[in-house]
Amino acid sequence: MKLSTGLRGRLMVGQSGGCTAVINSSLVGVIQEAGLHEEITGVLGALHGAEGLLRGELVDLGQESERTLELLRYTPSAALGSCRYKLQEGDLERIVEQFRRLNVRYFLYIGGNDSADTSHRIAGAAAAMGHEIQVMGIPKTIDNDLPITDHCPGYGSIARFVAQSTIDAGLDTEAMKRYDPVKIIETMGRNAGWVAAASALGKRSELDAPHLVYLPEVPFNVARFLEDVKTVHTEIGYVVVVMTETVRDETGKVVGNERPYFIDPFGHGYYDSPAAYLCRVVTRELGLRARFDKPGTIQRMSMELASSTDLREAYMAGQMAVRYAVDGRTDQMVVLVRETGTEYRCTTDSAPLTAIANAEKRFPAEFLTAERNFVTPAFVEYATPLIGGPLRDYARLAKSPLVS
């Protein structure tokens, strides 16, 4: 059924920031929903986000087949190409003129904190230049750090990957405990610990990994860390630690780093691995051989471990962005709303981009134990519905002693 409200013109969509397993599901939600609205006369894609928009690198998404779109819903990475571009002087005017020339009346940008800022600035420039356009942000970040929204598309899938991988790595460490008794797993997460915390979602007993979890919200003390590792090793004979890539000491420095080796256009620093550094400290101070795993971008991209809940909600976020735009909302971002009740249900609303742009939702203190080195059952209750069903169930041998 065709719906009919709002401005008449083309819709343009772009993707920005770090790719995820489900960002293309949002893109397909946009394309398929746009076809239901007679106000939308065509759907354009900006290749590599704002950069492609400025360069005129545009494609006609209306020419894509339904078969391609159905496959794209379950294709990881960003099909249009992504970017980390910070708008420069004169860019806004060029973008608005591009919109005017192409009769673009709807602009949807799939991204996180920085993309929300870009979208907000574009909305303001269009208003100042007298070009009527509806601008909507579609949330995307594995960091799960956008304000207002209950959670972010992309998070459920990386959470599933990290939870399952931690259990698997834990079994390896348990088997090799006489030789490699300590393993440190370093996850993504930038300034928020949501990803590392998800490692605990597969833990069923004290033997299961992880045994210790460290987040950037808690100042990291090396001496206390060594005591924690020693205690767990004494109790069960091996230790699996999970930490975010930006755990910081009491002075605010990323552990093992004096300064970042790279800073992106938005001011985000990139650092050498704190896990690698801490492995050397554990071996030197405790005499225990330690290894580290750092999955890198594979953790945010694995379609094999993508969450069915995440895929469904990412698509819904794309759909609803179109509906909200056609209904007249602008300078807003779609947010996910968890309904109350015993069964998990999620709906959507929208919030001003100004409330989301350049802001971060940190991991709350009430989701950490008193020792601040592990998560609480409240976090497990919050995050479990997001990973889209049970993780694999493994067995341990009883190892009954031989009686001759």
Kindly list the catalytic residues: 143
Q: Which residue has the tokens 């600035």?
A: 121
Which sign, positive or negative, has the C-alpha torsion 219, 225, 227, 229? positive
The Cβ of residue 180 has, within 10 Å, a number of other Cβ atoms equal to 15
Burial of 268-296, coded b for 16+ CB within 10 Å and e otherwise, reads eeebebbbebbbebbeeebebebbbbebe
* The residue type at 276: A
Q: Is 248 helix (H, G, I), strand (E, B) or coil?
A: strand
Q: Hey, which residues does 333 pair with through a beta bridge?
A: 137, 351
Provide DSSP, 279-315: HHHHHHHH---EEEE--TTHHHH-STT--HHHHHHHH
Q: Hey, which residues does 348 pair with through a beta bridge?
A: 336
Q: Is 250 helix (H, G, I), strand (E, B) or coil?
A: coil
Token readout for 39 is 């106000």
Burial of 252 (0-12, 13-18, 19+ CB in 10 A): exposed
